[in-house]
Amino acid sequence: MSKKISDTYFEEVLSDIKNLLENDQLDFIRNILADLHPADISDLMEHLDSDDRKKIFSILPRQTASEVLAELEDPPTEVLLEEMDTHDIAKMLDHMDSDDAADVLAELPTEKATEVLEKVEEESSVDIQELLTYREDTAGGIMAKEYAAINANFTIQQGIDELRRIKEKVGEFYNVYVVDDFGKLVGLISLKELVLADPNLQVKDVMNSEIISIESHVDQEEVAKIFQKYDLVSVPVINHRQKLIGRITIDDILDVINEETDEDLRRIAGTGEEDILEESIFKISRARIPWLIMSFFGEIVSAFIMDSFSATLGQIIAAAFFIPLVMAMGGNTGTQTSIIVVRGLATGEIGIRDIRRRLWREIRVTLLVGLMLALLIFGIVTLWQNNIRFAAVLATTLMVVVINASIFGSMIPFFLKKINIDPALATGPFISAFNDVVGLLIYFALLTVSLTLIL
């Protein structure tokens, strides 16, 4: 039985393995790993460098290696597969669920993937090839071909006998799908109902015909919303003819939620598709440079604006002291608002129809927040600069900048969604550039207009 590592002992086990690797004590490492769950072995490997991962992977039994490979993130998986023989890869795929096997195969170059498929067991090969025809971010791309299904015309006893016959192929299941003679999904029956029902009744007399199913082309994010809305543990996948072709389980959806969340956060941060475990400095740099260049030119425009208002700065030297504060408050406000809207759009909690309600709410919230910040800066500047008029102008300017950034931050994701641009991808750079350029314009314009009042 696999033993799970608690957080308390994880660092200790990792340290022991690193020490043993340094001394090339692979037999001791094999003994440690023998009692661990594949997910924990995967976690340990992700904290090691590339060469050490290869050593660990090479000493794992084939069944365990296949389970560990299914748990690993993409960059480590790619590195491990690069040097593996096609025969060894094929044998591992035979031990994996079809969806995990398809994910692994997708990491291989086309020529090597073809060689592997030729060596995989025929039934597994057919399932994997079918899964590879679907886009990886759709229901078809994340479904597994292992599912339990019986004919609606079977008696209950025949249904139980059929499940016994296919038990090695389907893995764990709690619900049994019911199909007609043509493979069309017509219902569902739980294991409890199946076992307790009269053996002589037909399955169609006991099954539940009100069943939630998902078509293979549906986006994985929409699938996750359906799981969340209806509290599902698994769901059948059908094609356009309503034929049962697979199932999606809750563990797949947890992976989807993590993947989508990570993707949204990376895009908001402006790091593109960079992976946390990526080791190539060139790939990491390539992911970051475009967004940094966009930010660079935004700051260049800001510099031109400051140069254009140099006369104002010359007359009110103290105005320069508060540029970072005004920019930071505007940026933080815009970012806070946009992240909430982007996440709401992604989860479906906020829709395009909510623009007016969202805008009105943000105006009221920002008025309150802006007023508090304005009163705070008014008091500080009055005591520091001993100029109540300058303090009043600065407080008003800060409030306008904050309100402007908040409204823009809440509206731009809706606008991007409307024109079919992913809000998570474009909102971050838009907010950054807008706040730096427009925020400075507002700041200096109000200061310039108020010069006669201040001086």
Q: Where does 7-134 sit in CATH, by number?
A: 1.25.60.10
pLDDT score at 307: 67
Query: CA 420, CA 399: separation in Å to the nearest integer?
Result: 32
Distance CA 179, CA 266 (A): 42
Count of CB atoms situated within 10 Å of the CB of 114: 12
- CATH class of domain segment(s) 281-454: mainly alpha
**CA–CA separation, 115 and 189 (whole Å):** 40
Mean pLDDT in runs of 10 for the chain (455 residues)?
Answer: 60 87 89 87 85 88 87 76 85 87 86 89 88 92 93 95 88 90 95 93 94 94 89 93 94 83 62 53 62 64 68 62 77 76 67 68 80 87 82 84 81 76 64 74 77 58
Tell me, what's the pLDDT at 161? 94
- Where are the CATH 3.10.580.10 domain residues in the chain? 149-258
Neighbour-count burial for 8-22, b at 16+ CB within 10 Å, e otherwise:
eeeeebeeebeebbe
How many Å apart are CA 341 and CA 163, to the nearest integer? 47
Write the DSSP assignment of 25-60 as a string of letters: -HHHHHHHHHTB-HHHHHHHHTTS-HHHHHHHHHTS
First to last CA, the chain: 80
Among residues 16, 24, 104, which one has the least CA distance to residue 68?
Answer: 104
**pLDDT at residue 284 in the model:** 57
Cα–Cα distance for residue pair 252/404, rounded to 1 Å: 41
Give the pLDDT of residue 1: 44
Give CA–CA dist 82/85, Å, rounded: 9
Residues 6+ apart with CB under 8 A from 120: 90, 93, 94, 101, 128
Where are the CATH 1.10.357.20 domain residues in the chain? 281-454
DSSP 236: E
Residues in the chain: 455
Fold of 149-258: CBS-domain (3.10.580)
* 211 vs 201: CA distance, rounded Å: 21
Q: For tokens 């994010």, name the residue.
A: 221
Q: How far apart are CA 422 and CA 6, in angstroms?
A: 39
φ and ψ of 248, to 5 deg? -120, 135
Q: For residues 277-315, b (16+ Cβ closer than 10 Å) or e, as one string?
A: ebeeeeeeeebeeebeeebeebeeebeebbeebeebbee
